[in-house]
Amino acid sequence: MDAISVIRTKRDRGELSPEQIDWVIDAYTRGEVADEQMSALAMAILLNGMNRAEIARWTAAMIASGERMDFSSLSRPTADKHSTGGVGDKITLPLAPLVAACGAAVPQLSGRGLGHTGGTLDKLESIPGWRALLSNEEMLRVLDTTGAVICAAGDGLAPADKKLYALRDVTGTVEAIPLIASSIMSKKIAEGTGSLVLDVKVGSGAFMKSIEDARELASTMVGLGTDHGVRTVALLTDMSTPLGLTAGNALEVRESVEVLAGGGPADVVELTLALAREMLDAAGVKDADPAKALADGSAMDVWRRMIAAQGGDPDAALPVAREQHVITAPASGVLTRLDAYEVGVAAWRLGAGRARKEDPVQAGAGVELHAKPGDEVTAGAPLMTLHTDTPEKFDYALRSLEGSFDIAAPGTAHEATPVVLERIA
């Protein structure tokens, strides 16, 4: 085998053989295939695609590059969830303890934010003392004692994907659906969960802008899960408008705790419950009512135990940004549009996100919304509040919000977009 022949096969729209795929993934992980060669192959895959057999084999090869976790010692069935990322997407925070309160175990391996999309680990690290890095033994212990764990993936899990992901980020090949699907699913399958629910975002604030692309990605990932013996379901969900009323790390933790306390924004509650029901069904947990677990405080109890088990203080005050800037409504009427991408970029520019993986983030930075599409607003009333520790960032963030919203005449009818658009199984 050699890298050039593998590249030429895909360049010329051929089908990579199982042997070619196994070899190139293993050789790249070991450093025998150079970054520039894998870049050329990734671009050929972006332009010419892969069939289901190729994607399945590519995913299997990435899984085989590292270890596989095993949760068979647990007394509960396991269920996990993965979101393709969005703005204000804090769903994992209330969802994991909620599903655990209903009887399933949730081994949630999460990531950090990059660009305009937030990261679950960044949000949780705004809680004093909370640790994202756990050994496999620690992860299993937290899962066994609390029913849920949210932590970073270890270096031994699909190392080929970790290397390839970084390369795709700097070579313009992030958008290749076969590579997105295999990246997500290799980690989730290696993680060892028994069932998986995918939250595939669609809209301006999502990676997939069109319903057609989102449907293709979701179908590909559901097929991969099925091929590897993991019961997998996908929901296509709206990301044209930010989820909830906050985009930022500590801001989103605060809102998540409100949901666990039985309150919170209606769209966050709706999506949390929809995903919880899918996860419980996929895990085979019957007769559990996640709405009841939110209302009676049992989900909050799991949250507190989970945070404490990872070194966090669930009673500690969350960080608050030193500076705020209020954007007021320029006219009275009905807010008909609030662009998720632009809000996400503003939060990123305020310090809630990062441009490179090694960049620090501000725990208190972000955007707080005072209205969502369909709400009546009054001229001069607060529309958004920007939060940051570095006030010189306000002008930069404000530029991203120019033209990010529309206000129509008072009384204008507004048809809300459903939170859940489609289900793919």
Task: Pick the catalytic residue from 89, 122, 161, 227.
Answer: 161
Find how far residue 49's CA is from the centre of its chain: 24
Of 420, 425, 2, 1, nearest in space to 211 by CA = 420
Q: How far apart are the C-alpha atoms of 179 and 55, rounded to whole Å?
A: 8
Can 161 be counted among the known catalytic residues? yes
Can 332 be counted among the known catalytic residues? no
Q: How far apart are the C-alpha atoms of 52 and 46, rounded to whole Å?
A: 15
DSSP category for residue 51: -
Retrieve residue 103's tokens.
Answer: 């009887």
For residue 262, which phi and psi values (nearest 5 degrees)? 95, 5
Residue 297, classified by CB atoms within 10 Å of its CB into exposed (0-12), middle (13-18) or buried (19+), is middle
In order of 217, 282, 417, the CA distances from 421 in angstroms are: 15, 19, 8
Q: Helix, strand, coil proportions of the chain in percent (round to 5)?
A: 45, 15, 40
DSSP bridge pairs for 201: 237
Q: How far apart are the C-alpha atoms of 384 and 11, rounded to whole Å?
A: 48
Q: What is the pairing mode between strands 382-388 and 366-369?
A: antiparallel
Retrieve residue 379's tokens.
Answer: 């001229």
Q: How far apart are the C-alpha atoms of 79 and 53, rounded to whole Å?
A: 26
Task: Pick the catalytic residue from 81, 168, 215, 304.
Answer: 168
Task: Pick the catalytic residue from 57, 116, 123, 187.
Answer: 187
Q: Which residue has the tokens 């509040």?
A: 385
Task: Pick the catalytic residue from 10, 57, 81, 82.
Answer: 82
DSSP category for residue 352: I
Can 82 be counted among the known catalytic residues? yes
Can 370 be counted among the known catalytic residues? no
147, amino acid identity: G
Task: Pick the catalytic residue from 183, 195, 298, 404.
Answer: 183
Retrieve residue 117's tokens.
Answer: 């999309």
In order of 92, 107, 417, the CA distances from 71 in angstroms are: 20, 9, 38
Of 182, 236, 183, nearest in space to 213 by CA = 236
If one counts every other C-beta atom within 10 angstroms of the C-beta of residue 175, the result is 12
Can 168 be counted among the known catalytic residues? yes
Find how far residue 320's CA is from the centre of its chain: 24
Catalytic residues: 82, 161, 168, 183, 187
